[in-house]
Structures are given as structure tokens and as C-alpha cells.
Amino acid sequence: MKLTVGQQRALEAICDTFAPADEGWPSAAEMGVARAIAEALPDPAVTGRPEQLLQLLNIWDSRLHSLFAIRRTAAFSALPAEERLRVLLSWADSVLAQRRGAFQALRKAIGYLYVMLPGAHGTASPVWEKFGYPGPLGVQRPAAARALRVTVPQRDLELTADVCVVGSGAGGGTVAAVLAAAGKDVIVLEAGGYYDDADFDGAELKGFYNLYADRGFASTADRSVGLLAGECVGGGTVVNYTTSFRTPDDVRAEWAAAGVPWFTSEEYTRSLDAVCERLHVNLEHNRVSAREEVLRRGLRSLGWHVDAMPRNVLGCDQGKVCGYCGLGCAIGAKQSTAKTFLLDAQNAGARIFADTRAMRINIATGAATGVEARTKDGHRVTVRCKAVVVACGAIHTPALLLRSGLRNAHIGRHLHLHPVSNVSGVFDEEIRPWEGTMQAIYSDEHCRMTGNYGVKYETTALQPVIAAAVLPWREPRQYRALLEKLAHTSGIGVLLRDRDGGRVTVDRTGWPVTHYALSAFDRAHLRKGFHGAARILEAAGARLIYSPHAKFCCYEPGRRGSHETFTRDMDAAGWSSGQLALFSFHIMGSARMGSSPRSSATNPEGQTWEARNLYVMDGSSFPSASGVNPMISIEAIAHRNAEALAKHL
Ligand SMILES: Cc1cc2nc3c(=O)[nH]c(=O)nc-3n(C[C@H](O)[C@H](O)[C@H](O)COP(=O)(O)OP(=O)(O)OC[C@H]3O[C@@H](n4cnc5c(N)ncnc54)[C@H](O)[C@@H]3O)c2cc1C
């Protein structure tokens, strides 16, 4: 969108305070970061929603702001560099969560784009050269045929079907296959576009823009937790990291006790088996990369639990290409729903519509009768059907239910995020953390800190944008010194099973707003997890260990500090919203199943308590956090409840 002159000046000044030109590094302005942010911002005149960043830019360059922040009366853009730095840090360290959140939003937007944007005319970025990143590897299968026939409506459409499935990710893709196999006429509506092997070139900018919700910039309302979710045909299963855990037995027992008795039944075991078989879940693609060798070495030397990760891949190269998996698998090895269940659904007659967002479910005399949708180009798509299955993921599912008029108090509540972040270690040896098998191993050493609540240790490939996401910024030189060491860095992901949830509401346009803050119970587990991750890195021989706190917390084992001082520093830096970078790749529980409308949004079959023939079958359905990466559980729930629905219809 077009910024005003004042907004543009403020944004450019912030970008160049964050990353000025220095010692061969280009400035953020030279890299076109301010322009890219402006282009990516949704226009409030079109969306009807206020854009927080624009509101911030409106005041940023005023003298009053500098006076308030650092007691200087000059406009931010007129201040010398060190004073501008102080202004930014006053936001980073503010006592107000809202201001810390705003700083984190700026840090992420500028930091992401600084490492994500290519150089002039699509050449390699001069930033990548500084830390030895080779850039995207390019399309690997340019002639690969597209697996699916997907329609993007070019005019208004009125359609009829037995069932309309909204969303084509883990839940929706599975539901479509089961219902189509049972002879039902199925329509799938998907808000995102269709991309396949011949489109996947490993470029971060393009990948985030095409495949992720809000282009990868989604977050909680206070900006304290980044929310990563797929928005494309196949949803999260196209961009996810292929880790394929079955629902643990103790979680199954917990969910059965929460009002869904079939979780402990043979029937659910059969659905887990069916899903794992169709997705080719196996333990034969577990080559440990240099990045994960650090995790394995550290765990073994501490005598801690380590095991091989089940993965849903066929013919995965487990090498250079694999590290780019989060931008779509370029060699077609990942068994996403686009490669499996949606293909089965289509072969059994299902129709798939892309770039088509459901706006509202039509409900008459207490029953769902169809769906109203809009394409990206503004065409209306109306589906009349006997049943609607909502599978938009745990942010958009409650939003669609709420804007369709449902009022059950549990819709949107009990949102679980498995908040995650990295503790990072810098090593003598070259690691090239952007390469290698996505997640070949994991550790459950601390997954039972209180009952079955605790953390899992996993790693992720550190593509530059993922690295930037957890890279603390206090001033440009220190930031770049860490970035320069990226080729020698590995991160231990601390994945928290959160007990206490957040909430999804809708704004006046019906768009979801996500509220989430860690409870004291969950914070204590995360803190212990960070401490554990540092011990793993230290045992593996890291020279420098640092956390993703807004204040820089680090130590150099055997040289400066210890993990005791590290823990003290992290406590001083704080564990509250905006004091550390947190992310969620696992969004769950916001329209949970249960035994009564007093405790849940749907019955155990996924049917909403308020409207007949209206079902939820996706990550929203979880009675609580799964504690393991959730894809297989989501697909197994969808499989079980779609079979029940097929019988019912
Ligand atoms: C980068 C990343 C890595 C991950 N790695 C793993 C992993 O290794 N293992 C694992 O188990 N899990 C992983 N996950 C999580 C897992 O992929 C998700 O939990 C899972 O895909 C969620 O399934 P879902 O059906 O709830 O939603 P999704 O798969 O997100 O599907 C929802 C779909 O609905 C569409 N939609 C939304 N609103 C509308 C609307 N109004 N109309 C039409 N369509 C709509 C969306 O575009 C999306 O395609 C990862 C997630 C991410 C983002």
C-alpha cells in the first residue's frame, strides 16, 4: 500500500537504524526493506481493519515521541544514530507489553526482509554472501506434472454437493478423501493458491508469500508470538517439517476422560494406522545433519533421551534440498495432503476450488445448508449442501463459526500453541544449518516436568528467515556478528506443551484476533527447557550460547559465564510477552470436542452443539494440546469423524 511521506520517512529511518550500511553490509534501505514492508501491508481502506504498524508510523517521527522515549525534542529521523538506537531500545525494554510487542513486530519485519530479499534483479543478496548462504537452490523438477486439477473460479458460481469441506490442510484433505471414498459428492474450498513441485524453488520470500497465512507475518494481537500456518492447497502439510508422531497413549487417555471416549478405542487406533499408512510414515529417512549432530552429541554426552523421528516422506534426499522443506518439498518427497488424501478425494470425484475463502456458513432452522465464499478476485461462490465440515485451522475455524452467528462460549477459547523458540550455539566447525534432514531426531528428556507437561527438544533447519526470527537485536554490529556466524550455528528448539490456553475472537470485519500469554505454570516449564537446551549445546562443545530474549543473554562455556549466570540473565531479561521471541507452528484446540456444550464447542463427532450438519474436523478439535507435533493426530481425528459422518449421511 502507499504510505504517506511521513510514514515513509519514519519507516526508512527505523530500517536504517536497525541495519545501516557498514563494513560491506548493505543498509536495509539499499535492500529495499522499507519498500517491501509497505508493499506487504494490507490497506485498511480495503480490509476495513486498522493496521497497527501504520498507526505506529504516524507518531514515530514526531518530536513528542522522541521526548517521551529519550527526552529529546528532535524528530526520530533527525536524531544521530546512537540516539535513534536508544529510542528503539526504549521500546524493546519498555515496561508496557504493548510497546515491547511493537518492537518485536518491527524487529521481525525488518529482520526477515533484510535476509529474505534477493539482490538487485533477482541476483543473490549481498547479505547472504556475508554469511555464506547459497540462496535458493532453484526448481528441482521443472517438468513435474501437477498432481491435482484445481479450479480457480473466474466468475460467480452456484454449486451443489453433499458435503462442502472448508480448508484443504491436514484435517480438510483427510475428510475430503474419506467422504469421497464413501461415494459422497464433495466440494473443497481453499483460501490459498495451488503450488506444486515445479513451483518450489526454495526462495524464502516467494515461499512465504505464496504458501503461508499472512505471508508468514501472522502473530498474536500483542505481537508476542509469531503464528506460522500454511495457506495453500494442502495447508500446513505442504510447508511442514514431516515429523509424524502418533497421539501418545497418555494424551489419548486424557482426551477420552475429557469427554471423547473413542480416543482410547480400537477405532481411533485404526484411524491412526490408516493415516500413517497413506502418508508413508517411516523411520528410514533419518540421516542426521551437521545441525542435528550437535543435538545428538550433546544428548549422548549428558546421557539424555534421544530417538529417531518418524517422518512422512518417500524418497527424501535428506541433504541440501531437505533443508528448504518449509518452502515446499522441491523433489516431491513430502507426503502432504496435496500428494495423498486430496489426490484420493479427487480420484473419487471431489472438486477442489482454490483462492476461494469461505466468508459465512448459511444456517437455517438450526442446520447448516451451505457456504458463501469469495475468490481473491472478488467472485461469489455459493455452495448448497447437506453438511459443512469446517477445517480452516485453529485460527480461522473459530473465526468462521463466530462470523456465521454461532455463540457457544467455547468457540475460540482453549487455544493452544505449543510455543517454541531456539537456544542457539556457535561452534568451531562449519554446520551450514540451512541444510540436511528437517527433523531426524528428537529428545523427550524433559517432556514430563509436571505430569505429562514439559518440553520436547527438536531442531529446525535455519534458513535465514528462521534464524532471524530468533536472533536478538540490541544494535546493528552485534546483530551482524551473530548473523556472520550463522554457518557455524545450530539451534535447539524448545517445544512447550502448554496447559493454559489463549483465545481467538473476531474484529468487527469478522477477521480473527488471537490473544495469548504464557501462564506462570507454562512459563516455568519453558524456562527449564531453555536451561536444558543450553546444557545440550554446552555438552556438544558450543563456544557461544545465546537465548532469543530481547535483552542479549549469552555465555561462553569455560571462558565467560556459566549456565547458572545464563539462567540468571534470562530471568532478569524476563519471560513475559514481548521479552523473548516465541513462535507457534502448532495451532490447536479453539473449537474443542467434548461431552457437553458447557465445556466444549462440538460433540465427540465434531458436530457443533448449535447447528446440525455443521462439523469441525481440524486442529481446533483437540481437547487440549497434543504434546507432540499434531499433524497425525489431526488427520486421524478427521479420518475417524469423517467415517462417522459418511455413515450418518
Ligand atoms: C512451518 C510448519 C512446520 C510444521 N511442522 C510440523 C511437523 O513436522 N509435524 C507436525 O505434526 N506438524 C507440523 N506443523 C503443524 C501442522 O502442519 C499443522 O498442525 C496442521 O497442518 C494443521 O492442520 P489443520 O487442518 O488444522 O489446518 P491447516 O493444515 O493449516 O489447513 C487449514 C487450511 O484452511 C484454509 N483456510 C483458512 N481459512 C479458510 C476459509 N475461510 N475458507 C477456505 N479455506 C480456508 C487455509 O488456507 C489452510 O490451507 C507445522 C506447521 C508449520 C506451519
Pairing relationship of beta strands 351-353 and 150-151 according to DSSP bridges? parallel
pLDDT band with cut points at 50, 70 and 90 for residue 44: confident
Alpha carbon of 588 to ligand 1 centroid (Å): 10
Residue nearest to atom 2 of ligand 1 (CA): 240
Mean pLDDT of 425-451: 97
Q: What is the mean pLDDT of the chain?
A: 96
Q: Are residues 487 and 353 in the same domain?
A: no
d(CA 530, CA 491): 11
Task: Tell me, using a 6 A CB cutoff, whether residue 166 lines ligand 1.
Answer: yes
Task: Tell me, using a 6 A CB cutoff, whether residue 117 lines ligand 1.
Answer: no
d(CA 131, CA 19): 15
In a domain, 255, yes or no: yes
Mean pLDDT of 35-39: 91
Out of 45-49, 311-315, 344-348, 633-637, least confident range: 45-49
In a domain, 591, yes or no: no
In a domain, 94, yes or no: yes
Q: Is the CB of residue 165 less than 8 Å from the CB of residue 391? A: yes
Backbone dihedral angles phi then psi of residue 176, each to the nearest 5 degrees: -60, -40
Task: Tell me, using a 6 A CB cutoff, whether residue 361 lines ligand 1.
Answer: no
- Is the pLDDT at 41 greater than 90, yes or no? no
Q: Is the CB of residue 638 less than 8 Å from the CB of residue 171? A: yes
Atom number in ligand 1 closest to CA 235: 49
Tell me the best of 241, 279, 281, 417 to mutate to test the pocket of ligand 1, counting ligand atoms within 8 Å of each CB and taking the most. Answer: 241
Mean pLDDT of 183-201: 98
Alpha carbon of 152 to ligand 1 centroid (Å): 20
Tell me the best of 390, 622, 629, 633 to mutate to test the pocket of ligand 1, counting ligand atoms within 8 Å of each CB and taking the most. Answer: 629
Mean pLDDT of 417-425: 98
Q: What is the per-residue pLDDT for 42?
A: 81
Atom number in ligand 1 closest to CA 630: 11
Residue nearest to atom 47 of ligand 1 (CA): 231
Atom number in ligand 1 closest to CA 233: 49
Q: Are residues 434 and 410 in the same domain?
A: no
Residue-number span of the structural domain to which 9 is assigned: 5-123
Q: Which residues pair with 186 in a beta bridge?
A: 163
Residue nearest to atom 24 of ligand 1 (CA): 393
Atom number in ligand 1 closest to CA 394: 26
Any idea what the CATH number is for the domain that residue 409 is in?
3.50.50.60
Q: Which residue type, as a one-letter code, is found at position 504?
A: V
pLDDT band with cut points at 50, 70 and 90 for residue 537: very high
- Is the pLDDT at 50 greater than 80, yes or no? no
What is the DSSP annotation of 133-175?
-------S-TTPPPS--EE--SS-EEEEEEEEEE--SHHHHHH
Residue nearest to atom 53 of ligand 1 (CA): 229
Taking Cα atoms as reference points, which of 361, 356, 372, 370 lies closest to residue 405?
A: 361
Tell me the best of 178, 316, 437, 585 to mutate to test the pocket of ligand 1, counting ligand atoms within 8 Å of each CB and taking the most. Answer: 585
Task: Tell me, using a 6 A CB cutoff, whether residue 189 lines ligand 1.
Answer: yes
What is the DSSP annotation of 483-540?
HHTGGGEEEEEEEE--SS-BEEEE-TTS-EEEE----HHHHHHHHHHHHHHHHHHHHT
- Is the pLDDT at 47 greater than 90, yes or no? no
Q: What is the per-residue pLDDT for 142?
A: 96
Alpha carbon of 449 to ligand 1 centroid (Å): 28
pLDDT band with cut points at 50, 70 and 90 for residue 446: very high
Task: Tell me, using a 6 A CB cutoff, whether residue 630 lines ligand 1.
Answer: yes
In a domain, 648, yes or no: no
Alpha carbon of 237 to ligand 1 centroid (Å): 6
Q: Are residues 576 and 614 in the same domain?
A: no
- Coil vs helix vs strand at 284: coil
Q: Are residues 40 and 161 in the same domain?
A: no
Q: Are residues 429 and 575 in the same domain?
A: yes
Q: Name the CA radius of gyration of the chain, rounded.
A: 24
Q: Are residues 428 and 566 in the same domain?
A: yes
Alpha carbon of 2 to ligand 1 centroid (Å): 31
**What percent of the chain shows pLDDT beyond 70?**
100
Q: Are residues 408 and 438 in the same domain?
A: no
In a domain, 344, yes or no: yes
Mean pLDDT of 160-189: 98
Alpha carbon of 341 to ligand 1 centroid (Å): 14
Out of 107-111, 296-300, 571-575, least confident range: 107-111
Q: What is the per-residue pLDDT for 48?
A: 80
Kindly tell me the burial class for residue 42, based on how many C-beta atoms sit within 10 Å of its own C-beta (0-12, 13-18, 19 or more): middle
Q: Which residues pair with 187 in a beta bridge?
A: 164, 351
- Is the pLDDT at 46 greater than 80, yes or no? no
Q: For residue 270, give the H/E element and its range.
A: helix 266-278
Atom number in ligand 1 closest to CA 357: 42
Q: Is the CB of residue 489 less than 8 Å from the CB of residue 427? A: yes
pLDDT band with cut points at 50, 70 and 90 for residue 122: confident
Q: What is the per-residue pLDDT for 305?
A: 98
Distance set, CA 174 to CA 165, 441, 467, 641 (Å): 10, 27, 32, 10
Choose, from 285, 416, 586, 639, the residue flagged as catalytic.
Answer: 586
Q: Are residues 177 and 37 in the same domain?
A: no
Task: Tell me, using a 6 A CB cutoff, whether residue 512 lines ligand 1.
Answer: no
The stretches of 317-375 forming alpha helices (DSSP H) are 341-347
pLDDT tens, 511-526? Answer: 999 999 999 999 999 9
Cα-Cα-Cα-Cα torsion 424, 426, 429, 430, nearest 10 degrees, comes to 70
Distance set, CA 588 to CA 122, 256, 271, 289, 581 (Å): 38, 17, 19, 30, 20
Task: Report yes or no on whether pTM surpasses 0.95.
Answer: yes
What is the DSSP annotation of 42-59?
PPHHHH-S--HHHHHHHH
> What is the grid cell recorded at 628?
507432540
Tell me the best of 390, 465, 631, 634 to mutate to test the pocket of ligand 1, counting ligand atoms within 8 Å of each CB and taking the most. Answer: 631
Alpha carbon of 613 to ligand 1 centroid (Å): 23
**Contact residues for 483 (Cβ-Cβ < 8 A; gap 6+):** 115, 130, 131, 467, 468, 471
Task: Tell me, using a 6 A CB cutoff, whether residue 634 lines ligand 1.
Answer: yes
Residue pointed to by grid coordinates 529495499: 32
Mean pLDDT of 586-611: 98
Q: What is the per-residue pLDDT for 302?
A: 98
Q: What is the per-residue pLDDT for 49?
A: 80
Task: Tell me, using a 6 A CB cutoff, whether residue 341 lines ligand 1.
Answer: no
Atom number in ligand 1 closest to CA 212: 53
Q: Which residue type, as a one-letter code, is found at position 547?
A: S
Alpha carbon of 606 to ligand 1 centroid (Å): 18
Task: Tell me, using a 6 A CB cutoff, whether residue 589 lines ligand 1.
Answer: no
Task: Tell me, using a 6 A CB cutoff, whether residue 170 lines ligand 1.
Answer: yes
In a domain, 561, yes or no: yes
> What is the grid cell recorded at 93?
525494554
Alpha carbon of 144 to ligand 1 centroid (Å): 24
Residue nearest to atom 9 of ligand 1 (CA): 243
Task: Tell me, using a 6 A CB cutoff, whether residue 226 lines ligand 1.
Answer: no
pLDDT band with cut points at 50, 70 and 90 for residue 20: very high
Tell me the best of 586, 590, 621, 628 to mutate to test the pocket of ligand 1, counting ligand atoms within 8 Å of each CB and taking the most. Answer: 586
Q: Are residues 528 and 560 in the same domain?
A: yes
Task: Tell me, using a 6 A CB cutoff, whether residue 342 lines ligand 1.
Answer: no
pLDDT tens, 624-639? Answer: 999 999 999 999 999 9
**Length of the chain (residues):** 649
Task: Tell me, using a 6 A CB cutoff, whether residue 393 lines ligand 1.
Answer: yes
Q: Catalytic: 586? A: yes
Q: Is the CB of residue 165 less than 8 Å from the CB of residue 298? A: no
Domain count of the chain? 3
Alpha carbon of 585 to ligand 1 centroid (Å): 9
DSSP secondary-structure letter at 453? Answer: B
Q: Are residues 465 and 568 in the same domain?
A: yes
Alpha carbon of 64 to ligand 1 centroid (Å): 43
Q: Is the CB of residue 198 less than 8 Å from the CB of residue 139? A: yes
Q: For residue 296, give the H/E element and its range.
A: helix 290-302
pLDDT band with cut points at 50, 70 and 90 for residue 233: very high
Residue nearest to atom 3 of ligand 1 (CA): 240
Out of 44-53, 286-295, 394-403, 482-491, least confident range: 44-53
Q: What is the per-residue pLDDT for 120?
A: 87
In a domain, 577, yes or no: yes
- Is the pLDDT at 530 greater than 80, yes or no? yes
Q: For residue 578, give the H/E element and its range.
A: none
Q: Are residues 564 and 622 in the same domain?
A: no
**3-state secondary structure string across 75-135:** CHHHCCHHHHHHHHHHHHCCCCHHHHHHHHHHHHHHHHHHHHCCCHHHCCCHHHHHHCCCC
In a domain, 211, yes or no: no
Q: What is the per-residue pLDDT for 45?
A: 81
Alpha carbon of 236 to ligand 1 centroid (Å): 3
Q: Are residues 363 and 463 in the same domain?
A: no
